[in-house]
A and B are shown apart, each in its own frame.
Chain A
Amino acid sequence: MTDTILQTAPGKTSDTAEIVLSVQNLSTEFHSKKGIVRAVDGMSFDLRKREILAIVGESGSGKSVTSLSIMGLLPHPAGRIADGRVLFEGRDLGQLSDRDMRKIRGTGLAMIFQEPLTSLNPVLPIGRQMTEGIMQHLGLGLAEARERAIEMMRSVSIPAPEARLKDFPHQYSGGMLQRIMIAIAMSCDPRILIADEPTTALDVTIQAQILDLMRTLRDRTGASIVLITHDMGVVAELADRVIVMYCGRKVEEGLVEKVFHRPRHPYTLGLLGSLPILGQAGAVGDTELTEIPGVVPSLDALPPGCRFSERCGFATDRCRAEDPPFEEAAPGHFTACWHSDQLERAAR
């Protein structure tokens, strides 16, 4: 059985591969003048060796907070993990000292941030920032580290990298900084890469290069990747498995083929229908895109029952009163919806 999966998607993990990251019932809260909001609420997932797991959802759904919680990088003191734990190769990250955590960031867990500037030092040349990490984590000498840095910069299409090592962050364009961040994160061959909207700010031809690079990292080093994105196209191109988030919670989870072919949550169905798909356009105006009515509710004014109920075409009284549990609807395919059996793939 595993063989056929491997055939259709080379390099794909099997569901017996070792679990390298386990997020268990994670809840993260923010304290503000208006009170406490729970940005991530009971998030759980396992990431296996060689697996690319996508977390997808609209802005504000809790994707970045999930990744910052895992990395131990929540803004202090406003944000805190209220519940749950994160196991990295079996070790509880919450129990580690700052020093041990720093060691793990790099070759163990590396992260690409949505905002590149937040993680680069503005007063250090890019070359120093790259080589320092490489020397520290890979134990290379300066000359070798420099070679490696240049090679990584070239792999993310920075022109004339030798000449640009001495430049400071502000001398690069935003798109280039994003690629430098990616180069830094991948330069130490991390075992797990958490990439938060790594290509959102980039043009498609550069995006294609970066997605290729991430795929190669996985195939070459056996790394596992958590890919955070709002783009269903990117999910379909790269991920093995996908988690759909809405208002801080998982609403659907399963293999990418299954979730795209037969979504089991109305929100996922709506997201897929709202996208024009390249090569499928009819005459202009003949087909309307699916609209999801309303807006994402604010976290301090969530509706009772199902959090999607105000926008859901399948909602019933039960939905407006009772929170649907997150359950297995088909083997390996989970959803939080009372009426998931009523969803049919919308004819497109």
Chain B
Amino acid sequence: MTPMPILELDGLVKRFPIKSRLFGPKQWLTAVNGVSLEIRAGETLGLVGESGCGKSTVGKAIMKLHDPSDGRILIKGKDIAPLTRAGMKPVWRKVQTIFQDPFASLNPRMTAGAIVGEPLTIHGLAKGAEKVRIVSDTFRKVGLRPDQMDRFAHEFSGGQRQRLSIARALVVGPDLIIADEPVSALDVSIQASVINLLIRLQKEMGLAMLFISHDMSVVEHVSHRVAVMYLGRLVESGPRDQIFRNPQHPYTRALLSAVPVADPSRRGRERIVLKGDVPSPIDPPSGCPFRTRCPIAEDVCASAMPGVTALSHGHGFACHVRAREVVA
């Protein structure tokens, strides 16, 4: 029996109003356009796509930093839309975030111990000696030394600061971690240790994790399942090996073939180099969002939005042409 999903998004839409010319028509930017996905305990879902495709907006909507324009967000089966700030508090305890920039996201005037301990106070979970004990345990868990608790954030290196953000996220015992580009700001030699740590903790603690990244190689390494976004929509999702070894959507294929691979013997491989740029989410193309860059687009792609074609193992994609080819 599969456990209940920790997180369910059902047709999530987020539109932002855009300042336009005086007296002009009001304009909207659709950052997220009907995203549905699920994450279960013990599972990492990698959310990939190029910058601006809406990944962070999905993460922020789950944290209720944005109100969704449409669709539902369920955390352990409970719709968070009607919840007030006070009603969200227990949810926030169960859902914790790790952001990209470990420099910006930590208060420079607080000691490392206070930073990691703060969520315990906010949620009224522990104080005094009990709190110190939990914080030092958490320090050890993320590979920091408890004697570093009195230092300030700026005394830590980039990789150590990201460990601090991880400790702060874990200290309250969450069910779901939203990690938004958690290693993108780090040098490669430091990235490795943070990735190893996240994978180990996710496994040991049975966490559900939404791992947001633009880096396909990192996503392949950490994720059990993967969802690929383009211009606010999911174009393909499924088990990791299906997405990486048997991709169906032309965008997934192009994205994979564009990744520079640190192996010169694979240099001669066939690759799809896309033309042009991602269109603006203020004025997206009609029909399929990918059609302006798609190497196999047909007339139908301009008139109708492709529906989802479901394959086995929860692998699905949205493409008119590929749907026909798969059936044939």
Interface residues of A (CB under 8 A from B): 9, 58-59, 157-159, 175, 203-209, 211-212, 230-237, 256-257, 260-261, 270-279, 281, 284-285, 288-292, 295-296
Contact = CB atoms under 8 A, between A and B. Distances in A.
B263 interface: yes
Nearest to A232: B262
A295 B267 contact: no
Contacts of B262: 232-233, 235-236, 260, 272, 275, 277
Interface string B248-259: 000000111111
A231 B255 CA distance: 17
A233 B260 contact: yes
A284 B224 contact: yes
Interface string B178-204: 000000000111111101100110010
A292 B273 contact: no
A98 to B, nearest CB: 36
Given A284-B44, A284-B199, A295-B157, A274 B277 contact: no
Given A159-B277, A205-B50, A208-B273, A236 B192 contact: no
B216 A204 contact: yes
B69 interface: no
10 contacts: A208-B271, A233-B259, A237-B260, A271-B188, A272-B262, A275-B262, A276-B217, A276-B218, A278-B220, A295-B159
Interface in B203-242: 203, 214, 216-218, 220-224, 240
A292 B221 contact: no
Interface in B257-297: 257-267, 271, 273-278
Given A59-B187, A159-B276, A205-B255, A281 B50 contact: no
B265 to A, nearest CB: 7
Contacts of A261: 264-265
A234 B189 CA distance: 16
A328 B253 CA distance: 42
A291 B258 contact: no
A271 B262 CA distance: 10
Contacts, number: 140
B256 A278 contact: yes
Contacts of B265: 257, 261
The 10 closest A-B pairs by CB, nearest first: A233-B260, A276-B221, A274-B192, A289-B192, A208-B258, A292-B189, A203-B50, A232-B262, A291-B193, A204-B258
A234 B245 CA distance: 22
Given A9-B267, A236-B260, A285-B200, A58 B188 contact: yes
Contacts of B192: 273-275, 289-292
B303 interface: no
B256 A275 contact: no
Interface centre among B216, B245, B254, B262 (most CB of A within 10 A): B262
A158 B190 CA distance: 35
Given A276-B220, A278-B220, A278-B261, A203 B51 contact: yes
Contact of B191 (A159, A209, A235, A274): A274
B92 interface: no
Contacts of A235: 262
A278 B199 contact: no
